[in-house]
Structure 1
Amino acid sequence: MVPCYILLASLAIVFPGQCTGYQYDSQRKLRREVVTGHANVITSNENHADFNIPYDGTVKLGSESLYIYNYNISGGKIGPVRISVSSMNATPNYPVLFVIRQQRGVISWQVPLFLEDMFDYSTVNRTLCPTENYRSGRRSVDRKQLAYVDISTFSPNLTAFTLYAQQLENFEIGMYEERRLDVSPSEPIYYEFKFPDDPEVHSVTVKATSSDSLCMDLSIQSTNCPVFDLDRNVEFTGVYQTMTKQAAITVERARFKDKAFYVVFVVRATDYACTDIAIVEPAAIHGLGRLKTLSVIVEPSISYTKYMIAIGVTVGVFLFFYLVAAVVAFIHYLTQHRGEHEHLSGLDSTSNLENPIVNRTEGSSNYGTVVQQQGGEKQQQGGGAASSSPGYDSDSTIDEGEIDMLDDADTDKNIVRTKTFLYVADLARKDRRVLTKKYKLYHWHLITISIFYSLPVVQLVITYQEVLHVTGNEDICYYNFLCAHPLGVLSAFNNVFSNAGYVMLGLLFLGLIYRRFVSPAAHCSHRSCLRYCLPIVSLPASLADELPPHEPPTPSYKHAIASDELPGFADTSFMYIIAGLCMLKIYQSRHPDINANAYAAFAAFAVIIFLAVLGVVYSKVWFWALFFIVHVMAMLGLSTQIYYMGRWKLDTGIFQRVYLQLKNEMQTPSRPMYMDRMVLLIVGCLINLSLALYGVLTRPKDFDSYLLSIFIVNLLMYVLFYIIMKLRSGERILKLALFFICLATIVWGCALYFFLSKLSTWELTAAKSREGNRDCMILEFYDEHDVWHFLSATSMFFSFMILLTLDDDLLETPRDKIPVF
């Protein structure tokens, strides 16, 4: 007897197309399949179905149901179909299988639907992708369309199901059209948006908001089929964001050839993707408790015209500072030129120019510069100010250890620096050329560090932007997505361009320094004027370059790709350097010979940045204990160094010296020799100890901001002390410096207000961070953080101007009359 399967195979060859897989008997609707050598007969119930009518049925092993929906193309547009199915008694071992066949595609799923390998949903709703959008092309399709819904199961028992299908009439979402919808993990929804013909609408922003915190994916996909609308595949294409309460994606017209895209909403089975916390929710079983209600609206982004206006206004505002500076400089030049001419004329008639003494220190022999005119040739005596002439060759070979040719008693640092009352002249004994070389190292080191520091950040920006555009994962970057305007490869160009103030005002500050200390018209820097007036120290012409001309480009790169992996590296590290250099600048004003050299200063900054990296990556108990010890030791070491004017040494005998000093003080208590310094250091140590204890006890998550606050508090404390000591010493604060102090205080206060408006934060997940996103507040282009950039750049400029003008009242005061504090 010929085996049955051989007979069936023969029939398939003789009658191809009639016996290749299945055929229907016109009477009994039988389907015959060749399975492992024998034929199974499966009963198929064929039904012609209508839309908007629910159908109940049962299936089991050996029987299946087939529903056929037919519909016509209306107006040249094929409306999408949405299928809803459910089965309450289907089991994970014997699920009900649903297969939907269309002209150009097929889609299938099972009930119960498993998500995250632990949650099963007994109800599934899916939207069928319009047939014309399959990748086979945009060629015409049949005007009469059929959709086959095939339902089957391997369960030996009857399993009930419900089927419901409808044609979507509001599938397309228009501009400014707000939609409210309910989405669950097993019931994803998507709409189609088409760009209008208006050329001004080059991009749009899709905004979604919700009152609950269920985790959802907002995805933008091209209008190709199939649509990835399940949480296990929504990340495979397009651009997407995780969302709790709000999300926004800016979509550019140029990215889509057909000028249209799908907006897809997929609720996650758990909230882990949005919160990084895995919580098993029993209520999610069988689809209960994960229904998310939200609203969506599509709004146009600003036009190119408004884009350019916002950029132009920004540049114009900062150019206004240049205009004001130019006008003030011109008026000052005219006034100063007239005053200088009258001053020199008076000196020529009353002074003996044969032997003008420009500086002489009381109590020390031959210190200062004596310029003699003999035979038309100048002779300079004394090394301290001999090189203060602008024409002196500062590159001649000289060692930092060289000192003035003075008596041994006046030369010995241990004797000079232990005087009860010190003047700047006592601490300005090194040759001008030495100091110039020493302080030039600062700006060369700063330029070098800026370059090598910025290059890796640029590389990371390019890499992350490429990753963002390739993967479509906008959770990589932390923006204010409600006010993110892309340009080229930058996803938030406005956040980058708002850093322009640091650059423009920094260049202006450099120009003011050049005019003040290099230009022949500058006050007290003219060659003839140098004979009669003397700047405080050699600092301003050299160390002024030490001050960073602007906040380096790191912050702008940070906003080009603000990531939760690089918060400190990309934003606050240079702030440490700026604050530290400002403190060194203030200290050097009264201690020119004992200020830290560039190598030691930047080595200390390197250690600080290393600690910052550790604090971000390893914010554990052991780290906070280590940081507390380092903080306290650094505080005590610097306090001792400052109190003893650099005559304190760290060696093996330090503990013995400290012990003997404490023992002597306890036996014979005496008033501190340097009371002002002692008061400053005690207050500073108490404040720093409080900050250290606060860090250990609370362990703030944002370690970068905590470390930056330590620098800012110490800087403000030192500036306040310096101003108080100036007034206490009988010195004055001129109106210009007072004007900058008032401006800096006001602008810093406004800047901090906007800084504290948390539009996004890397401390949270991307979805949680977006809960703080807000719309643009200025020119439809800049948000609160951009305003912080503008104000902080301006306030930083005013702060640098304070340091530049604070001691202007001493420009003509000899150094032996300027007290040290």
Structure 2
Amino acid sequence: MAAFSSRCVIVAFFLVHCYTDGHQSGNFSQVMQFVLNSSNNTRIHFHPGYVKNVYKINAWSTDATSKEPVYVVVEQDTNILSWTVPLTLANSFNNTDNVYDNTSRIFCDNGWGRHFTVTLSTDSPTNVTLYLLVKKEYNFNTGDKYSVSVSPSQPDYFFYRFSSNQTLTTVIRVNSSSDLCLFASIQNHQCPVFNLEVSRSVHQTILHKGAMRIRRYEYGEGFSLVLVARMDDSDCIQKYNPLDKSVLRENSRTSHVTVSIREINGNRTVAIFCMLGIIVVTCLVAVLVVCVFHMCGKAAGGTRYDESEPLLPRTVPEEQQDDGNERRERTLPDKLMVSHLAQNLQNNSDKSFGYMWSLLHVGIFYGLPVTQLVWTYQKIANKYGDEDMCYYNYLCANPLWIFGDFNHIYSNVGYILMGALFLCMVAHWKSKYQGLSTGVPRHYGVFNAMGLALIGEGVLSACYHVCPSQFSFQFDVTFMYLMAVLCMVQLYENRHSDVSLSTSHAFMILGAFIFIATVGLLTNEVALVAILIILEIPLCIFLSLKAYFFGPVWYNLGNLISQLQNSEDSTLHILKPQRKARFICVVTPIAINIVLSTVGCYLFVNGVVDFGTLILIQLMGNAFLHTLIYFFFKIRIYREGVSVENVFYLFLSIILWGIGGHAYFQTRTQWTESPAISRQRNEECVLFDFYDVHDLWHFWSAGALYSTFMFLLTLDDNVAYKNRNEMAVF
């Protein structure tokens, strides 16, 4: 194609300078008809005056052929523009050439008062009729809507001059009535104008809806918008999304487009600090709520203990080796109490704080490369102007500094502040309840890890929103995985201090899930879902058996098999669970995990959720399930009751999760689709002309997570001074 264009230009120059027969003056905004052949060519002079203007030159013919086309050459000093009528463009999708009889180009006059010349020539020995229309392109006005038609051979051009010195950002909306793939580019108001697809300007692909946000300081007095239809739709469907194999096709490659422009003069500082003020006030209210509950609560005394000494003789199951290297298991009573599994409190406390330090290390070594990567993404996107790299809501993507979507980055400050507030609350609870020999053993290290994970979610979610895409989505959900796992660990450790999962094992299991999620996000293969289920169900069964036996699974299963082989009792009698309530507790999660896996697989295969979200659903579902089981046994089975403060946080978290979920499912982007299709979800800002519904999801979910963590922190406050040998294990 490039070689063909070069030959066209060479032939055109030869014809212009050697075989030009006719000279005449041209008229703007008037259709002119010319009859051309190989011995009768025409040169038309246009006199634009001393004002810098941009002209659209339309040329069309019904009897010119691609073998013997009409050459159109536009000259003004050293500025030269040339093309052929009909215009032949290569279709890379099906490896064919498309021929267009109607053509147009944008020509920029330098404004020096010199005329420009349009030369028409052809090699055809027979007469060819060509029509020419040269008209000045008019400037855009704020708030007006302009309707145009564009095709691969007929781009269109708009110039916009900023109307106010107070303008910070200009929003361009492009709407199309067809399914054709369009290419929109923003250029500085200078000559020459790049008519077709160029990578040196800010540009994006568009299907039905497109939007671009322009910062005034980058374009001086104004900017130019160029629209052109693509030869095929593959870039609008597959660009940066190799998972989608479908391609839209239309026989007609002419798209009817409506363009509108709106200026934003509001002060972004007000929007930024107003939201920060709202979050800070919310934190102060949260502190006030705690103070009110503690002032209204009844003080009670408790006995302090020495963490280095056990309260009762050691009775938990453990693997020990005697002189004969034989395993043995110490027996447990049929009715387990918290005191039976809270014998080594100092070691359990150290293990609990191991979660905090491990998470801190993971956050540092995971977060630094992520920050470096997304910073590089943003610099590349800014340098090359490719707005298909990042999945923004361009109708509410407020640029600031080097960031193209600052509001979605900044709105994560709620996670950070709420995480810091929760750490303060944990410190307060520790000072109030630490050292009691009553109530459930409190593992403040896990609670601290939950607060750090909430802060980490804010940082990593901000990194994801620097340049959202399928390659960075994992950054947004990793710490959500961590928080879900920590919630389950905390619930289990409440009444199983001596037999809880070690830090290293917990992070190894979590690392395996994150590895599978990474591979799944990159490949999106259904086979990985099968692998996930194959790994998850046995793991769930193993952990459930470990929870039931309170110790080594294989050792206890070996004893059970030995009893089946040697005992004279019936098989049903031996297999009958001794702790029926506990058996229900461990069987229920297995059954529900099978259901979750089945439903998740169905949703993934049908394209409802992506692989990362599938794993998040599994982990969040398990966290909710364990919370529900714990709460049910505490309230209904053992009738321990809960405090008013705990009920308050329960209902608050439900309300905030409901409001946040409503905002979350109003998606404004979707990286599982192509950028052009994703933009059809873009919508305007809803708060301060700065934040959209996804920003509100950040705010609501930060409050919801804080309320959920406070619910877990206060869950056993009402039994803080109850003897442990009177509290059941469940």
TM-score of the superposed pair, with normalisation by structure 2: 0.88
Letter matched to residue 110 of structure 1: T
3-state SS of 2:198 partner: helix
> Does the 8 Å contact 2:100/2:153 carry over to 1?
yes
Equivalent position of 2:701 in the other structure = 792
Residue from 460, 465, 471 that aligns with 1:565: 471
Residue from 176, 198, 202 that aligns with 1:235: 198
Residue from 260, 278, 281 that aligns with 1:320: 281
**Relative to structure 1, is the Cα distance of residues 810 and 85 closer, same or farther in structure 2, using a 3 angstrom cutoff?**
same
Shift in Å, 1:602: 0.7
Letter matched to residue 191 of structure 1: F
Deviates more, 1:795-804 or 1:553-562: 553-562
Alignment of 1:313-462 (within 5 A): 313-331=274-292, 358=303, 383-384=309-310, 418-430=332-344, 432-462=345-375
Residue from 405, 417, 437 that aligns with 1:534: 437
Equivalent position of 1:709 in the other structure = 617
Work out the CA distance in 1 between the residues paired with 2:171 and 2:317.
76
Answering whether residue 226 of structure 2 is matched by residue 260 of structure 1, we say no
3-state SS of 1:225 partner: coil
Shift in Å, 1:694: 3.2
Larger RCO (CA within 8 A; separation ≥ 6): 2
Letter matched to residue 288 of structure 2: V
Answering whether residue 59 of structure 2 is matched by residue 85 of structure 1, we say yes
3-state SS of 1:628 partner: helix
**Relative to structure 1, is the Cα distance of residues 291 and 654 closer, same or farther in structure 2, using a 3 angstrom cutoff?**
farther
Letter matched to residue 628 of structure 2: L
Equivalent position of 2:8 in the other structure = none
> Does the 8 Å contact 2:339/2:725 carry over to 1?
yes
Note the alpha carbon deviations across 1:702-749, whole angstroms, 9 max, x for none: 011111111111111111111110011020111100010001011101
3-state SS of 1:119 partner: strand
**Relative to structure 1, is the Cα distance of residues 154 and 650 closer, same or farther in structure 2, using a 3 angstrom cutoff?**
farther
> Does the 8 Å contact 1:534/1:813 carry over to 2?
no
3-state SS of 2:700 partner: helix
Equivalent position of 1:726 in the other structure = 634
**Relative to structure 1, is the Cα distance of residues 428 and 82 closer, same or farther in structure 2, using a 3 angstrom cutoff?**
same
Answering whether residue 116 of structure 2 is matched by residue 147 of structure 1, we say yes
Equivalent position of 2:687 in the other structure = 778
Work out the CA distance in 2 between the residues paired with 1:292 and 1:99.
26
* Gapped regions of structure 2 (runs ≥ 5): 1-10, 92-96, 239-244, 321-326
Equivalent position of 2:242 in the other structure = none
Deviates more, 1:216-225 or 1:643-652: 643-652
Residue from 192, 195, 214 that aligns with 2:162: 195
Could you say which structure has the larger radius of gyration? 1
Shift in Å, 1:447: 0.8
> Does the 8 Å contact 2:206/2:676 carry over to 1?
yes
3-state SS of 2:361 partner: helix
> Does the 8 Å contact 1:58/1:159 carry over to 2?
yes
Alignment of 1:138-217 (within 5 A): 141-142=112-113, 145-155=114-124, 157-158=125-126, 160-168=128-136, 171-196=138-163, 198-217=164-183
Alignment of 1:457-606 (within 5 A): 457-518=370-431, 522=432, 524-525=433-434, 534-549=437-452, 550-552=454-456, 553-567=459-473, 569-606=474-511
Note the alpha carbon deviations across 1:259-302, whole angstroms, 9 max, x for none: 2110111111111111125758572xxxxx12211211111124
**Relative to structure 1, is the Cα distance of residues 381 and 513 closer, same or farther in structure 2, using a 3 angstrom cutoff?**
closer
Equivalent position of 1:754 in the other structure = 663
Shift in Å, 1:664: 7.9
Shift in Å, 1:64: 4.5
Residue from 532, 549, 553 that aligns with 1:648: 553
Note the alpha carbon deviations across 1:402-433, whole angstroms, 9 max, x for none: xx766999999976664321011111111x32
**Relative to structure 1, is the Cα distance of residues 625 and 329 closer, same or farther in structure 2, using a 3 angstrom cutoff?**
closer
Report the number of matched residues: 696
Shift in Å, 1:212: 2.2
Shift in Å, 1:114: 2.3
Note the alpha carbon deviations across 1:146-202, whole angstroms, 9 max, x for none: 2322122334x325132222332x521122222111111111011111112x33212
**Relative to structure 1, is the Cα distance of residues 44 and 644 closer, same or farther in structure 2, using a 3 angstrom cutoff?**
same
Equivalent position of 1:127 in the other structure = 106
Shift in Å, 1:333: 6.4
3-state SS of 2:551 partner: coil
Equivalent position of 1:66 in the other structure = 42
Work out the CA distance in 1 between the residues paired with 2:463 and 2:316.
55
Identical counterparts, % of pairs: 26
> Does the 8 Å contact 2:180/2:250 carry over to 1?
no
Work out the CA distance in 1 between the residues paired with 2:315 and 2:140.
90
> Does the 8 Å contact 1:594/1:646 carry over to 2?
yes
3-state SS of 1:248 partner: strand
Letter matched to residue 44 of structure 1: D
Answering whether residue 55 of structure 2 is matched by residue 98 of structure 1, we say no
**Relative to structure 1, is the Cα distance of residues 662 and 464 closer, same or farther in structure 2, using a 3 angstrom cutoff?**
farther
Shift in Å, 1:791: 0.4
Work out the CA distance in 2 between the residues paired with 1:658 and 1:270.
72
* Gapped regions of structure 1 (runs ≥ 5): 1-20, 25-29, 34-41, 133-140, 284-288, 345-356, 360-368, 370-379, 386-403
**Relative to structure 1, is the Cα distance of residues 174 and 770 closer, same or farther in structure 2, using a 3 angstrom cutoff?**
same
TM-score of the superposed pair, with normalisation by structure 1: 0.79
Equivalent position of 1:50 in the other structure = 27
